[in-house]
Amino acid sequence: QTSEAEVVVFSVPSYACQRRTTLENHNAVLTDALALLAENAELSEEEGRGVAFRRAAAVLKALPRPVTSMTELRGLPCLGDHSLRVIKDILENGASSEAESTKQSERYKALKVLTGIFGVGAKTADRWIREGILGLQQLQESGQTLNRAQQAGLEHYDDLNQPVTKADADVISEIVERAVVSVLPGAQMTLIGGFRRGKLSGHDVDFLITHPEEGREVGLMPKVVSWLESQGFLLYQKTTRNSYLESKDGPGRPSSNMDRFERCFSIFKLTEKERRRTKHPETATENGLRTVSTPEPDPHTGHKLWRAVRVDLVVSPISQFAFALLGWTGSKLFERELRRWAGHERNMSLSSHALYDNKQRIYLRATSEEEIFAHLGLEFIPPSERNT
Ligand code: DGT
Ligand code: MG
């Protein structure tokens, strides 16, 4: 029992982009509950509440050891009344009654199942729930018109709701690399998203593609997609065109956070054959052969020798590469906090394309992430420490 005066208070800066957050989390019980409430808020289109829970969880993730009493939280930023109530409940009772009842609620369960379909967002799921559709079977029987993405999402539902492993991400990296160098020698590809932050699993695999000579990347995406298609790697793809230069939003002020690179949302077909041909040092056995896990048996065909994986491709001109790399490495909260820091603390506008100084009225150039952090007056945080 420590007396009040002896309680060591943690010191945590208020923006997540000022902190080093590794994958090691000493407060997972607390942050899991807050993440669930954040997710529920986001699925209910209460973005503000969602962000508040995410920020609170991020502060707890940055602590060097488990929280054991409420007094230790004094002086910490981003912990609102609601989050504090949730934390108190867990510290006193071992679980958050609000998180538990949310998890059990029919609405949350239905939102999870329906938004688990690729191509279905919170709005669509909410509409379906109001029409009495709570699950996949009801959806299929309802005769709702599904777009192409949603049809593919439903078809590959189980695979796409299985986490993607780092080993599979590496196999896909090799395939995308082959595609990129085949259609444009000299083009470069970088793994981005959660896997660049060192995560061991993810919901998709994200890649950024560029060419060291400005302009050579134009027209690259359709060629990469055609190559992948011709080799039978794509179960689904939708490419959206770059509209950054044509946009009338003005400097550094895109109309939304959605960015304007040429982008391809796809579903890959990853076969056992591809998994075997790629050797991984970290999974190699003594005799040099890679151990391959037995594929999941398919209830219809007995054995399915492939799995579907969500893959996102982004093409950026080299002049914007550092901004794209920073903007697509995540985490989502880290990105949001970087933009908030830029705007509120530096009077600058940061996007995945550029950094604009609103006072000097100039774009600040950068060829590396380090330079962008320096422009923002922030200490450089490497990808593995952006796991907020
Ligand atoms: P996960 O769920 O394991 O795939 O986790 P992440 O961190 O890879 O998340 P993901 O794949 O949704 O997105 C990767 C990063 O890319 C994310 O941290 C923020 C960024 N991002 C995703 N979608 C967009 C977008 O439409 N525009 C911009 N600017 N950034 C995006
Ligand atoms: Mg990802």
Residue nearest to atom 13 of ligand 1 (CA): 193
Written as one letter, the residue type at 217 is E
Long-range contact pairs involving 353-357 (C-beta distance under 8 Å, separation at least 24): 353/244, 353/254, 353/259, 353/260, 353/261, 353/320, 353/323, 353/324, 353/327, 354/251, 354/252, 354/320, 354/323, 355/252, 355/323, 356/251, 356/252, 356/253
Task: Determine the pLDDT at residue 301.
Answer: 61
Minimum-distance ligand to the CA of 265? 1
Class of domain 4-102 as given by CATH: mainly alpha
* Assigned token pair, 193: 């998203």
- Atom of ligand 1 minimally distant from the CA of 194: 8
Mutation to probe ligand 1, out of 328, 353, 381, 385 (largest number of atoms < 8 A from CB):
328
Contact indicator for 138, 242 with CB cutoff of 8 Å: no
* Nearest Cα residue to 337 out of 18, 11, 12: 18
Q: Are 61 and 141 in contact (CB under 8 A)?
A: no
For residue 232, the model assigns a pLDDT of 98
Compute CA 344 distance to the chain's CA centroid, rounded to the nearest angstrom.
Answer: 24
Name the residue at shortest CA distance from atom 27 of ligand 1: 258
Query: What is the Cα–Cα distance from 192 to 211, expressed in whole angstroms?
Result: 16
Instruction: Choose the catalytic residue: 206, 249, 298, 357.
Output: 206
**Measured between alpha carbons, how far is 339 from 160 in angstroms, rounded to an integer?**
30
Q: Kindly name the residue from 32, 89, 158, 312 that is annotated as catalytic.
A: 312
Q: What is the Cα 210 distance to its own chain's centre?
A: 20
* Catalytic annotation present for 206: yes
Indicate which atom in ligand 1 lies nearest the CA of residue 263: 26
- Which atom of ligand 1 lies at the shortest distance from residue 312's CA? 11
Respond yes or no: is residue 204 known to be catalytic.
Answer: yes
Per-residue pLDDT reduced to its tens digit, 237-246: 999 976 655 4
DSSP collapsed to 3 states, 276-306:
HHCCCCCCECCCCCECCCCCCCCCCCCCCCE
Closest CA to 347 of 314, 368, 376: 376
- The yes-or-no answer to whether 4-102 and 106-155 have a common fold is yes
Q: How far apart are CA 272 and CA 223, in angstroms?
A: 25
Task: Using alpha carbons, list the distances in angstroms from residue 220 to 15, 186, 224.
Answer: 37, 12, 6
Backbone angles phi, psi at 223, to 5 degrees: -70, -45
Q: Which ligand is nearest to the CA of 205?
A: 2
**Phi then psi dihedrals of residue 308, to 5 deg:** -90, 140
Q: Which ligand is nearest to the CA of 202?
A: 1
Q: Where are the domains of the chain?
A: 4-102, 106-155, 158-388
- In ligand 1, which atom is closest to the CA atom of 328? 16
Q: Where are the alpha helices (DSSP H) in 94-209?
A: 97-104, 106-115, 122-130, 136-142, 148-155, 157-160, 166-183, 193-196
32 is catalytic: no
Residues with CB under 6 A from ligand 1: 193-194, 199, 202-204, 206, 257-259, 327-328, 330-332, 335, 352
Q: Ligand 1 centre and the CA of 332: distance in Å? A: 6
Tokens at 171, concatenated: 């196999």
Question: What does the alpha-carbon distance between residue 51 and residue 341 come to, in Å, rounded to a whole number?
Answer: 15
Looking at 158, 204, 259, 357, which residue is catalytic? Answer: 204
How remote is the CA of residue 223 from the centroid of ligand 1, in Å?
23
Q: Are 103 and 34 in contact (CB under 8 A)?
A: no
Topology of the domain covering 158-388: Beta Polymerase; domain 2 (3.30.460)
Locus of tokens 């179960």: 235
Low-confidence ranges of the chain (pLDDT < 50): 246-257, 283-288
What's the token pair of residue 134?
Answer: 């709570």
Q: What is the pLDDT of residue 230?
A: 98
Residue nearest to atom 3 of ligand 1 (CA): 202
In CATH, the architecture of 106-155 is Orthogonal Bundle (1.10)
